[in-house]
Chain A
């Protein structure tokens, strides 16, 4: 078409300007700002002075930050390889159209529209060792209650366990992909005498490969940037046992160590980018970029 010399160029620029301005202010400028200040000694208020890579060295030498990085790795693995497979299983069942599957799809996604603040407070009360629901449940089978969120040996597991309510997000994506598989494939397999299980393994799973890759990539990327529910449930404690890079960043900022906070931000961005790139390479197809945009 009129690839060159569109006579509306002025108007096009005018229409794009507000979005580009906001994008520059809230995506590009912060990236440059974080990079620059991560190389500075800066306490927030006063001036900055060049500090080389000292902020990075300090963080990487700090055992609590290393613990936070390890926890992010655990989050990423749990999200990609527990949450997504569970979501895939639910999606494969719903794609077979059992009674009420549309309603189930709607309900399974529901927790994703409820604020993390509200859900975190629910979980804190459910885990409460005095009157919580888990105490009551375990009491039925004669097991004692524990202070799950207050004990360094159980806190991380307890915080991760509650993310099971969020599988609906990946389920929706995988279900849409499963429903788009041509029905004739299953009919042909049926005629050949293939059981339901065989059909799922030989038809559905291979056809879902691209969407599964997308979901695993998304889930692991979210695991790397995990912050909110942990911050709200344990604040990263006890003894940093549930800390993540995001929480470490927040605590550095709270302690007015802005240079180190920025370095933590850069490490978070770099690790996340490397992970997404590596996963896209390893898992091949699937377009996390396009699908993440939803």
Chain B
């Protein structure tokens, strides 16, 4: 009898714990999806519907807001600028970081460890403290208000992360493969290009994804280093060039949905790489 009662309190206790656990997980699920859902649902509504019932689904979902957004906000131009900046920044960053990573991961020379530490320690530097020097440097180099300034800044800022990720991948390439390549007549550059680089593809994809997301989303430097439509990115567009949306919130939501689509899509396809990249160093902790 007493045993039964005990078992009953234990199972109710366990059920309550399970309920609390799912409520907790559900809360964060809601929090993580709420901003996206809010944007998406309201971008399909009219402004009247938004004001009357912000949470309700649209009576008749309409893509009219997207047409408005594309027509009024110079959106295609800003989008193209962002694509160009992000693509060039990723290419430059991966080229530079993979060359350096090869030297750091596959060769032994004096000062190698110190160099590796110095390069990766760059992540600890609070870059917002460098608004004045970045602005001055770019102005003096004649790159102010040019897309090239953003390409350089984004590629450079991501060097610490990329060197860390790519060099740790390159370290795992078996030495024998390189030795075999040397016997086949491969030189220094051949070992890099034909052996180590192809085998580090996974690390390159991870580093490239991080760099792409950073370059696409970056706001402060883009605001600081550009001023005209020809050099501004989509983030600035959403922030400043959407003043015509001042009363048209649903049109603005449509523009924002378009602006976040590339990174969300990249994440949808490459989330495994991102998770792997984030945890590359964590498991030893």
Closest to A174 in B: B282
A-B contacts counted at CB < 8 A amount to 280
Query: With A1-B108, A118-B259 in contact, is A37–B132 under 8 Å at CB?
Result: yes
Question: Contact at A19–B123, with CB atoms within 8 Å?
Answer: no
For window 97-118 of B, CB contacts with A under 8 Å fall at: 97, 99-100, 102-104, 107-110, 115, 117-118
Question: Contact at B126–A293, with CB atoms within 8 Å?
Answer: no
| Residue B263 is within 8 A (CB to CB) of chain A in the complex | yes
Closest to A258 in B: B132
Question: Contact at B161–A246, with CB atoms within 8 Å?
Answer: no
A268 to B108, CA, bound (A): 37
- Segment touching B, from A56-64, A101-109, A185-193: A101-109
Number of B interface residues in the complex (CB < 8 A):
96
User: How far in angstroms is the closest Cβ of chain B from A15?
Assistant: 4
Query: With A225-B128, A293-B281 in contact, is A19–B159 under 8 Å at CB?
Result: yes
Known: A20-B100, A26-B152, A26-B153. 5 other contacts (CB 8 A): A34-B130, A122-B256, A172-B279, A232-B239, A291-B281
| Chain A residues near B136 (CB-CB < 8 A) | 33
Query: With A116-B219, A294-B164 in contact, is A18–B137 under 8 Å at CB?
Result: no
Query: Which of A98, A115, A285 is close to B21, meaning CB atoms less than 8 Å apart?
Result: A98
Query: Which of B115, B249, B256 is close to A16, meaning CB atoms less than 8 Å apart?
Result: B115
19 A-B interface contacts by CB (under 8 A): A19-B163, A23-B118, A30-B130, A90-B25, A108-B29, A110-B33, A114-B36, A118-B39, A123-B35, A131-B54, A131-B249, A173-B279, A211-B285, A250-B131, A253-B132, A265-B129, A287-B284, A293-B120, A294-B165
The interface residues of chain B, by DSSP majority, are classed as: helix
Query: With A117-B238, A293-B160 in contact, is A33–B122 under 8 Å at CB?
Result: no
Question: Contact at B103–A15, with CB atoms within 8 Å?
Answer: yes
| Residue B208 is within 8 A (CB to CB) of chain A in the complex | no
| Residue A113 is within 8 A (CB to CB) of chain B in the complex | yes
A105 to B121, CA, bound (A): 28
Question: Contact at A268–B109, with CB atoms within 8 Å?
Answer: no
| Residue A82 is within 8 A (CB to CB) of chain B in the complex | no
The interface residues of chain A, by DSSP majority, are classed as: helix
Query: Which of B108, B115, B124, B235 is close to A3, meaning CB atoms less than 8 Å apart?
Result: B108
Q: How large is the interface on A (under 10, 10 to 19, 20 to 34, 35 or more residues)?
A: 35 or more
For window 263-281 of B, CB contacts with A under 8 Å fall at: 263-264, 266-267, 271, 274-275, 277-281
Question: Contact at A110–B115, with CB atoms within 8 Å?
Answer: no
| Residue A167 is within 8 A (CB to CB) of chain B in the complex | yes
Question: Contact at B252–A121, with CB atoms within 8 Å?
Answer: yes
